[in-house]
Amino acid sequence: MLRRVFPEDSRVLEIAAGSGQHAAFFAAHLPSLRSWQPSDADPDALASIAAWTEGVKSVLPPLLLDVTADDWPIASVDAIVCINLIHIAPVAACEALMRGAGRLLPVGGVLYLYGPYRVAGEHTAPSNAAFDRSLQERDPAWGVRDLDEVTRTAEAAGLRRAEVIPMPGNNLSVVFHRE
């Protein structure tokens, strides 16, 4: 998927990189990218990201980046990848992610999201409904987001939904392009 959706020579920003395992794997398997910039809002994640990505050629040192901050510590990217954030954060994080992507991406730039979604208001599997309940028990502000609502938030930030691809485990890949 990522080989196809990220143009060659892209500078990719990863938001909410967590442990850094995705950065290590994807950057190593996408040698045509110019750079992979991992980031996370949790200072403790940065050491893990640095350790996992050590020696992977195109990976830059991790950045502390909270999507809800007014300023993101990066000036220019071609593509943004964000895996498993918007359901494990308040809705404000999704809104801020879209605003930030709208600001930062050039026309035609790619925002790639991965995770579980409700579709037309309904869960796509009983396991996703159970996951949603468990998220809300942990924090009432968390929860599996509705794809149409996420799309409307993206459109308000100047992003057009280009593709929705079913993935294993009842997750979706959702690709937006900056208009």
User: What residue ranges bind ligand SAM (CB under 6 A)?
Assistant: 15-18, 22, 40-42, 45, 65-68, 83-85, 88-89, 93
Q: Residue 12 or 17: which CB sits closer to ligand SAM?
A: 17
Residue 21 beta carbon to ligand SAM: minimum distance, rounded to whole angstroms: 7
Residue 83 beta carbon to ligand SAM: minimum distance, rounded to whole angstroms: 4
Q: Which helix (H) or strand (E) holds 152?
A: helix 147-156
Q: Which helix (H) or strand (E) holds 128?
A: helix 126-138
Question: Which pair of tokens denotes residue 86?
Answer: 């918007």
Please list, in sequence order, all residues whose beta carbon lies within 8 angstroms of the beta carbon of residue 20, skipping any fewer than 6 positions away. Answer: 38, 45, 48, 49, 50, 51, 52, 53, 62
Q: Residue 83 or 159: which CB sits closer to ligand SAM?
A: 83
Residue 41 beta carbon to ligand SAM: minimum distance, rounded to whole angstroms: 4
Angstrom distance (rounded) from CA 95 to CA 60: 26
Minimal CB distance residue for ligand SAM: 18
Residue 51 beta carbon to ligand SAM: minimum distance, rounded to whole angstroms: 15
